[in-house]
Structure formats: structure tokens, C-alpha cells
Chains A and B, each alone.
Chain A
Amino acid sequence: MLFWQRIKSDTLAIICISIILAVLLSGVFAPFIAPHDPLKPDLKAKFAQISREYPLGTDHLGRCTLSRLLYGIRTTVLLSLLTMAATLSVGTLFGIVAGFGGGRVDETVMRLCDILLSFPSEVMILAIVGMLGPGLANVVFASIAAKWAWYARMIRSTVIQHKSKNHIYFARVSGCSSLHIIQKHLLPAIACDITVLATLDTGWVILSISGLSFLSLGVQAPTPEWGMMLNEAKNIMTTHPCQMLVPGLAILTTVASFNFLGDSIQDALEPKRNYSESREKR
């Protein structure tokens, strides 16, 4: 497919995909590659220097930083991706229903979005988690609830823009079902916008989950999580900067990779760059 060919020829995209894949695989195979148990404290080895035994040193409880980093991938990255996917799905569904449906359906969904968007998202997440109780599942649910309305609005406006294009008119006149129009015409058109939005927000989700973990509302100690590691390390920032640098750089690299990848995907999906094979071969 042209899309994959284009991605393959984009060096930056390949680098980003490699980084993200490496991170994800490390997270999945963490039990096999981590040198130590991330949860086992060893106060004798508190703040150990970088050595063969502890490749990135240890934290204030003597736990191996590298092991915590690797196990933390599961909590931070994989969970964020799951949250992202769910938020996108819900937001897209409502956005398309509102944009395509028009009239009363549109009004209802938009008023609902207005209500949800009038709360500051952090406050809403806190409120929901506060009501449901702490825990990862509740944090995920709260993040989805806070963000879907924003996506629904963006996608609705894109749908409305595309709805009055001639090719959609033709599809309607020639008797194509609404499902066909949404699937074949609207979704590919909004895929570009969704990708960019999603990659930009991945960073936000990571930080949001970390923030809640700090408040003991999300991930409970001692479960390893990058954001929590950052917060634990901020107290000893000046004495042991390594502890802060490691999770910080990990978050930076991962989020940056997602962002750059989003750019490359957007370029690759651009239809004007489609050329039939005969032209490509020439």
C-alpha cells in the first residue's frame, strides 16, 4: 500500500517507529530484561552509583531504577495508549453522529459537550476519581470522560466541512447508505486530523496519569510509573540528578517520537500525494 511505502521512505518516521516499538517491547518483556525486582526495597543500596549491578543506579528505597523504568512502561505508555484509543473512539463516534446527523441530534450532543467542557479537565478527573475511588481503572475512565468532548467537537466541525462536498452529495443522491458514506468518505478524510490530535495528546495523558499517581489517586505506590518516579526524584534533584533525568528523558523521548510520527503519518495520508503505479515507475 502507498501509505506504508511512504512511511518506509521517511527516515524520521522510521526512527520514531523504532523508538516506540523498542519502548513497547521493553515494556511487554520487562520481566525478562529487567535485572532486578522493581518492587523490592534494599535500603543498604540506597542511591547507589551507576554500576554493572545497577545500570542506572537506585532510588531512595534502594530499588533498581532501570527495572522500575522498564516496568513503568507498562503503566505509563501502554495505559496512555489505551486511554487515547478509547477517548478517540468515543469522541469520533459522537462527533460523526453529531456532524452527520445534524438538527436535533447535533444540538443535543453539542450541548452535552458544552457542559462537559465547561469544567476544567483536571478538576473533573479529580472529581470522578474522588467519587469512584482511587485506582488505575478509575483514572482511565476519568481521563476518557474529561477529553472525549473536545475530540467530538473537533471531529464534528471536520465532518460538517466535508458533508457539503460534491462527492458526498453524489453518494447521497445515488442511494449510498449513511454507513458507506461515513466509512468510505468521512473516516479517511478525518483520519489525518485525528492522528495529529491523538499524538499531541499522548503527552498530556502521560502527564495526567502521572499527576494523579502523585496524589495517590491513580497508581498506588509501590507500582512503578514514570511520572511517579519523577515526583519522587524531585526532592533529591540537586543531590542525585540522575534519578530525575532518567524518567524525564524517557518521557521526553517517547512523547517526541509520537509527535514526529504523527507529522509523518499526516504527510503520508495526504491524498494529493497519491500517484498511480504507472507514474511511480516512470
Chain B
Amino acid sequence: MLEVKDVYKDYSRQGSIFGKKNQTILAGVSFCINQGKCMGLVGESGSGKSTLSRLILGLEQPSCGEILMENETIADWRKNHRGQMSVVFQDYTTSVNSRFTVQEAIAEPLLALKSTDGLRSHILELLERVELPVRLLKRYPHELSGGEMQRVCLARAISTQPRFILFDEALSSLDVYVQSQILELLSTLKDQLNMTYLFIAHDLQTVSWLCDQVLFLHQGRIVEQLNSRELYKAQNGYAKRLLASVNLFSGNPF
């Protein structure tokens, strides 16, 4: 469904008076995601994950290479399939306009699609899906906790029944308890609505739980692609180091 072909992204930075220095964030990234699958992307902060997510969403253009969704460019695909691509960001405090109530926030993509029939019942149904109480409808973002806010973002993201959702570190700011609840929810929704996910995170444990495949991004390149059930087969040095350093919790003392 999604094809990323040899994508490069440079940002020009004012290096000195006599010219700009180019900073390469992504250097030849290529991968594919099949329909209905969940792909995980891990890498340390600063490795280019957010930049890649902005390129895939069509918010920025790559310096080189192309990104195709069902063999169309992202801009064309989004125009032809409005509301079928969605995103959940990490920072829930800026993900929703602080002047919008929860109801207005969830209704926004539906109004953009001009599907206003049965809007209220649709919103109530979405709240039920993400397990949020109805009394939160009239609240403002700063009155909700992180977990509740992220659920609102999730409800908003699935409101238009998208076929592709990109999660840009969506669970990183949440505590483990809420994370596991939302992971369950994501897994159920994916099967129910046959969605394709790209799940960007730095926590390998959540990625391996939810995703079918895992990509390792290091210094702007994909260094390893593994099946999430076969992480022991890692070959690349960085990937192996990352996997080895994961903090495992044991119910028993050391």
C-alpha cells in the first residue's frame, strides 16, 4: 500500500556568510507496507523519525526519491481519498486546538468531509469505542489528563474511517497502564476496520507487541527490517545493541 523509494531529505542551514550548509536527515530510506499490516519504526531521537513521518503525510516534500500510496503520489492520493489518511501525534497538548471542546475537535475531520448526518450519534459512538465517558464532550483540552487527551486524538483520527493511520510516538508520553489499554484498543480497531498502521516509537516492547514488522532507523538509514516475532535474527550492530539494552521487567527480584 505504502511505498517509500530511496528518500532523501536535506535541510539547509545557515552555516557561514558565504553559503548554506546542508544537513542530511534522511539518506536513502526505502521500505514498503502492505495493506492491513502494522509496521513499526524505531530509532533514537534525532534519527529522523518525525521528518519521515512528515514526508509520508505529505506535509513536506522529499529532496530526492518518492513516496507512493497505492501507486499515486501522496498529494494526489489525499485529494482522491479525502479523510482516508490520519495521524496521531506524540504531543497531545498541541494536537488539539486549545480553543476547541472535545466535541468540536472530534467533529472537525467529519465536517471537512461534509458528512454531517447523524454527527452527534457518530461522535458518541466514537467515544464509546475509545472508552471515554460522554461527560467529557464539553470539556476543553487542558481539563483532561494525558491518557484521556490521547484517546480523544485517537477518536478523532478514526472518525473518518481511514485506511492508513500514522502514529508518531503517540504512546510515548503516556504511562504504561494507559499505554497497554490503548495498545489493546489499536489492535482491536485494526482488525475490525482493516486499517494499515505505521507505528513510530522508541520503545521496542510496545512496538513488538503491536506490530507485524519492525524497521530500525539509524542516522537517516534503515539498517534492519525484522519480523516482530523474530527479533533474535537481528544482524545489524545498532539493532542488536538496541535490542540488548531493552529494560526488561521481571516480577521476580534479581
Interface residue ranges, A against B (CB under 8 Å): 165-167, 169-177, 180, 184-185, 188-189, 271-272, 274-279
Contacts and interface: CB of A to CB of B under 8 A. Distances in A.
Contact of B108 (A165, A171, A272): A171
Contacts of B183: none
Given A165-B94, A166-B95, A278-B138, A177 B101 contact: no
A173 B59 contact: yes
Q: Which of A167, A271, A274, A276 has the most CB of B within 10 A?
A: A167
A169 B89 contact: yes
B234 interface: no
Contact of A275 (B112, B143, B160): B143
B246 interface: no
A272 B142 contact: yes
B169 to A, nearest CB: 12
Interface string B102-116: 000000110011000
B135 interface: yes
Contacts of B5: none
28 contacts: A167-B95, A167-B96, A169-B87, A169-B89, A170-B87, A170-B95, A170-B156, A171-B112, A173-B78, A173-B86, A174-B85, A174-B86, A174-B108, A174-B109, A175-B109, A176-B109, A177-B112, A184-B97, A189-B99, A271-B140, A272-B98, A272-B142, A274-B99, A274-B140, A276-B138, A277-B138, A278-B135, A278-B138
B224 interface: no
Contact of B94 (A166, A173, A180): A166
Interface residues of B, number: 31
Nearest to B88: A170
Interface string B71-101: 0000000100011011101010011111101
A175 B96 contact: no
B139 interface: yes
B87 A173 contact: yes
A31 B112 CA distance: 52
A172 B89 contact: no
Contacts, number: 76
A174 B158 CA distance: 11
Contact of A276 (B57, B113, B143): B143
B36 interface: no
Contact of A173 (B85, B113, B143): B85
Chain A to chain B: the 7 pairs with minimum beta-carbon distance, closest first: A174-B109, A175-B82, A271-B98, A176-B112, A166-B95, A166-B89, A276-B138
Contacts of B146: none
Contacts of B139: 276, 278
Contacts of B94: 165-167
Given A165-B94, A166-B95, A175 B143 contact: no
Given A170-B95, A272-B98, A175 B83 contact: yes
Contact of A185 (B85, B95, B97, B142): B97
Given A166-B91, A171-B108, A176-B108, A276 B140 contact: yes
B147 interface: no
B83 to A, nearest CB: 6
Interface in B134-152: 135, 138-140, 142-143
Nearest to A171: B108
B28 interface: no
B140 A180 contact: no
Contacts of A167: 94-97
Given A165-B94, A167-B96, A276-B143, A174 B112 contact: yes
A171 B83 CA distance: 10
A175 B83 CA distance: 6
A136 to B, nearest CB: 39
Contact of B99 (A169, A173, A188, A275): A188
Contacts of A169: 54, 57, 59, 87, 89
